Amino acid sequence: MLIGFRLQNFRSFLTEQTFSYATSADSAHASTHLLRTGIKSVPRLSKAAIVFGPNASGKSNLLVALGTCRDLILHSSSLTPAQFAERHTPFRFGPAASRATEFELDVVLDRVRYRYSMSYDSQRIRRELLLVHRTGKAQRWFERRFDDSLQRDEWAPFSPNFNGPRELWRKATPPGALFLTTAARMHSAQLAPLMHWVEDGLQVLLKRDMGDLEGFAARLHDRVFKSRLIRLLRAVDIPIDDVRAAAAGLEPQADRHPSIEFLYSRAGWAPVWANSVFESAGTHRLMSLFGPLMDAIDRGKLLVIDEIDASLHPLIARFLIQLINNPALSGRGAQILLASHNTSLMDLDILRRDEIWLMQRGEHGASVLAPLLRSSPRRQESVAKNYLKGRYAAVPVIRPTILEDRDP
């Protein structure tokens, strides 16, 4: 389970910003919306969180940052120097453009808390640290810092609680690779739980990741998957009777994409199979979301989705969020992090006050992330209405008179 994520100097983010699932003492929705961690320092976490804010404020960049952090942890040891440099996308204005990007993941797995941080620029890893909390006191399993004057990494002593051929792993870690990646790939048993969570417990869906019909079509051969999909579509008032991957044509084509067909029945007429090209954008969106959402619920994953409400009716978007909080369906620690413009989701009937986050542009146009709780909304407050009134900021400033200005 993710406790929090910290970032600095990445894309539209200049100063340090922190997102957290740690909850307030609020008792609202306590029986449905919260996860118990089993650790004293952070006893409860939220299952869901949504980030709201104006266009170009940084919502998508927050999700991209999580995806980039995941990518570096999984693949840093196999990236070419050019590929590694591409991952460094700092704030482009002022001196930050030449400075390092920083990420920190705070995760609890089986009552063990892992706080892993990295700092990197276009050339190398600048800093890396893993703190592990098995009891109250943190154990510093490893730490490295690049010394500019000596032009080499300086390593703190490894923790006696961190076992294995640590010096072998250290020597095998090149400048552009994370020690975590290298040691895990060289079979560190103690790092396996954290790496497993990053690889299999965290999924980031950006707009470019939607529409994977090939993977979706393959899963339709799973009867359980298909049955659950049909039930989901019916639950949101899409009246289909069956779904299948369409048969491939006789002539193979390199540019052929998988085709999905839906069966519709109408009283008094023969049933009809309709190709998915005739379906709405909303139905396509649901197909893209269904597999990752069910995987998150079944396996206790963190699912990150950009613009979940795109092409979906507001009531359907609300329904998908409620699935995560439904104890009858989701009992394995699933979490969801969303970016949205849909203020109908900013509703204290489906979210706690500490599950609503606001993004806005601050000094120098840099992204600033803050919890709604910072504005101290009342328990029964109409937060969506007050948000649109600008009470909490993080809304676009509309200037219609600009259109009246004459062109030069």
Q: How many CB atoms lie within 10 A of CB 394?
A: 22
Residue 314, token pair as written in the block: 């507001």
> pLDDT tens digits, the chain, 408 residues: what are they?
999 999 999 999 999 999 999 999 999 999 999 999 999 999 999 999 999 999 999 999 999 999 999 999 999 999 999 999 999 999 999 999 999 999 999 999 999 999 999 999 999 999 999 999 998 789 999 999 999 999 999 999 999 999 999 999 999 999 999 999 999 999 999 999 999 999 999 999 998 776 667 778 889 999 999 999 999 999 999 999 999 988 654 444 544 556 899 999 999 999 999 998 888 888 888 888 999 999 999 999 999 999 888 889 999 999 999 999 998 888 899 999 999 999 999 999 999 999 999 999 999 999 999 999 999 999 989 999 999 999 999 999 998 888 887 776
> Residue 214 has what pLDDT?
74
Give 61: exposed, middle or buried? Use CB within 10 Å, 0-12, 13-18, 19+. buried
Instruction: Output the pLDDT for position 74.
Output: 98
**What is the spatial distance between Cα 372 and Cα 359, in angstroms, rounded to a whole number?**
10
Q: Say how far apart CA 78 and CA 100 lie, in whole Å.
A: 21
- Residue 157 CB contacts under 8 Å (≥ 6 apart), including other chains: none
Q: Which tokens belong to 336? A: 């969801």
pTM for the model: 0.94
